[in-house]
Amino acid sequence: MAKGTLYNKVWDSHAVEKLPTGQTQLFIGLHLIHEVTSPQAFDMIAEKGLKVAFPDRTFATVDHIVPTKSQARPFEDAEAEQMMGAIESNVKKFGVPFFDFKSGNQGIVHIIGPEMGLTQPGMTIACGDSHTSTHGAFGTLAFGIGTTQVRDVLATQCLAMDELKVRRINVNGKLNPGVYAKDVTLYIIQKLGVKGGIGYAYEYGGTAFDAMTMEERMTVCNMAIEGGARVGYVNPDQTTFDYLKGRKYAPGADKWNKAVTYWKSMASEKDAEFDDVVNFNAADIEPVVTWGITPDQSVGVNAKLPSVNSFSADEVKTVELAYKHMDLKPGQAIKGTPIDVAFIGSCTNGRISDLREAAKVAKGRKVSKSVRAFVVPGSQQVKAQAEKEGLDKIFSEAGFEWRAAGCSMCLAMNPDKLKGHEISASSSNRNFIGRQGSKEGRTMLMSPAMVVAAAVAGTVSDVRDLMKTS
């Protein structure tokens, strides 16, 4: 097993007891909840007559079902309205802080945690959402959990967990212009596969990660789960501390030095031992586009789609299903594939830096007439900041709809959906069959800048070609 890693240190400092099952009872430092996976959990604790054990370490928001066009209440969708009512009544009943529309801090749970400084190095974090791995960017162990586990955290602030192995993933060197954190994470998944991370926590490092902003690190950690790793993290460093300083829930000036000393002490040791180490070169990474139905079915934007027999025998069925569903053929170029919808947003790429990069490409250009395009900021704060910078105008002038904060068409639990056989260029995280709200709908994942390039051309394009001429 790994030794001296951040994973080991955080695990050991949060271990309460070895359980009779062999699992470890792990204290959870921050519990984030949202409307979709919490109502049943609240019902379960109410039924047992239990309270929320640590209401001051529990924070709630709404993101999955909220409409992004009109947020007037009651919502048009009666089920969404009922779900909204459930979380409103539960947070009141159990005394949980709630970031609702009125707060100015509502947004996708994995965007608002870091944004408000709730997410801090050395913590354990849990949320009833698989993309909780996002918070690992700060050097936390952040677990996506199911509703019955949400119940456990509400009732006890603990989880019964099995220890993971730790794989160190180094990406060294400098990313080429037009290549983003999204491409790095898609590239890693392409190389290690969607099952490669089962049983592992991923520790990301190397000079490419050292150079990344916090928002870029969040994009990579967000998709650790897509590679099968429940947890992904980056060791905290000066970039992390600079990001946190001054945020609402971050330690104040009087506590700052103590906090930084503690955070530094939680990073992996120089001589830490890992269960596995993998190395990649940043220079090898091109803008990546997925062509299939799992996030590892992807190619560089200038590559041709792989032949079926280039896959191992046990992958052939999935590959054939992918080609059939996507209506694409082996050997064809991904570049030039027509798109119907362009979506920018999600917990992967709905932060301010994502919108800035997308706006740079959109500025002075027009979305193709054949494309329905929209931008969904990840939080109310991101929306406000973008509007302050005039990004909303750039997007609107280019022909993108500018929306309110939420998960939107990443998982299509709100009115934002693909129709029929439509195909999207999407900055989200999953290209699963039916994911974006239509069972015949199709998704190609890529960076926000690449989504803009596709929206403008009406077909999958290499954003670097636009960057040369802008």
Partner 1 sequence: MNKINQIEGKAVPVEGNDIDTDRIIPARYLKEITFTNMGKYPFYDERFDAQGKPKGHPFDLPQFAGSNILLVNQNFGCGSSREHAPQSLMRWGIKAVIGESFAEIFAGNCTMLGIPTATVSQAEMARLQALAKEKPQTKFLLDLDKKVLFSEGKEHLKFDIHESKRNALVNGTWDSTSLLLANAPKTSAVAGKLPYVSGF
**Binding to partner 1 (CB under 8 A): which residues in 111-150?**
120, 122-123, 128-130, 132, 144-149
DSSP state of 275: S
Candidate list 2, 33, 80, 418; residue touching partner 1; CB under 8 A = 80
Site for partner 1 in 407-436 (CB under 8 A): 411-413, 430, 432-435
- On whether the CB atoms of residues 88 and 100 are closer than 8 A, the answer is yes
State which of residues 2, 5, 9, 14 lies at the interface with partner 1 (CB under 8 A): 14
Among 82, 279, 302, 370, binds partner 1 (CB under 8 A): 82
Beta strand residue intervals within 303-381, DSSP E: 341-344, 372-375
Sole window of 10-18, 105-113, 329-337, 338-346 interacting with partner 1 (rule: CB under 8 A):
10-18
DSSP string across 138-205: GS-EEEE--HHHHHHHHHHSEEEEPPPEEEEEEEES-PPTT--HHHHHHHHHHHH-SSTTTTEEEEEE
Of 3, 25, 88, 330, the one binding partner 1 (CB under 8 A) is 25
Give the angle subtended at the CA of 26 by the CAs of 143 and 235, to the nearest 5°. Answer: 55
DSSP label at residue 279: E
27 vs 241 by CB, closer to partner 1: 27
Residue 469: CB minimum distance to partner 1, A = 38
**Binding to partner 1 by residue 40, rule CB under 8 A?**
yes
| Contact status, residue 165 vs residue 149, Cβ threshold 8 Å | no
Backbone angles phi, psi at 236, to 5 degrees: -70, 145
With respect to partner 1, which residue has the nearer C-beta, 32 or 359? 32
Report the first-to-last Cα separation within the chain, whole angstroms.
50
Other CB atoms within 10 A of residue 199 CB: 15
Rounded least distance, CB 271 to partner 1, Å: 24
Q: 337 vs 431, which CB is nearer to partner 1?
A: 431
Cα–Cα dist 442/75, whole Å? 27
Selected from 3, 4, 43, 176, the binder of partner 1 by CB under 8 A is: 43
Interface pick for partner 1 out of 4, 27, 264, 273 (rule CB under 8 A):
27
Instruction: State which of positions 282-311 bind partner 1 (CB under 8 A).
Output: 293-294
Please, which residue, 44 or 211, has the CB nearer to partner 1? Answer: 44
Per CB under 8 A, the list member of 69, 93, 255, 419 interacting with partner 1 is 255
For position 241 contacting partner 1 by CB under 8 A, the verdict is no
20 binds partner 1, rule: CB under 8 A: yes
Which one of residues 47, 73, 310, 314 is an interface residue with partner 1 (CB under 8 A)?
314
Q: Which residues between 152 and 191 bind partner 1 (CB under 8 A)?
A: 152, 155-160, 162
Least distance (Å) between residue 308 CB and partner 1 = 14
For residues 90 and 353, which CB has a smaller minimum distance to partner 1 in the complex?
90
| Nearest-angstrom CA–CA distance, 171 and 283 | 9
Cβ(240)–Cβ(139) below 8 Å: yes
Contact call for residues 238 and 264 (beta carbons, < 8 A): no
Binding residue for partner 1 (CB under 8 A) from 4, 71, 77, 303?
77
Q: Residue count at the site for partner 1 (CB under 8 A)?
A: 83
For partner 1, the closer CB: 198 or 277: 198
Least gap, CB of 43 to partner 1 (angstroms): 7
Complex with partner 1: residue 297 or 381, whichever CB lies closer: 297
In the complex, what is the shortest distance from the CB of residue 118 to partner 1, in angstroms, rounded to a whole number? 10
Instruction: Quote the tokens at residue 467.
Output: 């960057």
Q: Output 92 or 366, the one with its CB closest to partner 1.
A: 92
Among 117, 262, 264, 356, binds partner 1 (CB under 8 A): 262
Inter-residue contact 167 to 197 (CB < 8 Å): yes
Q: Does 452 bind partner 1 (CB under 8 A)?
A: no
Name residue 132's amino acid: T
**Nearest one of 130, 167, 133 to 145, comparing CA atoms:** 130
Q: Strand 276-281 relative to strand 165-172: parallel, antiparallel, unpaired?
A: parallel
Contacts of 261 (CB under 8 A, 6+ apart): none
Instruction: Please report whether residue 19 would count as binding partner 1 according to CB under 8 A.
Output: yes
Rounded CA gap, 204 and 70, in Å? 39
Residue 71 found at the interface with partner 1 (CB under 8 A): no
The sheet carrying 200-205 orders its strands as: 231-234, 200-205, 165-172, 276-281
Site string for partner 1, 321-340 (x = CB under 8 A): x-------------------
CB of 42 to partner 1, least distance (A): 10
Q: Minimal CA–CA distance to 108: which of 413, 463, 469?
A: 413
Q: Is 57 one of the binding residues for partner 1 (CB under 8 A)?
A: yes
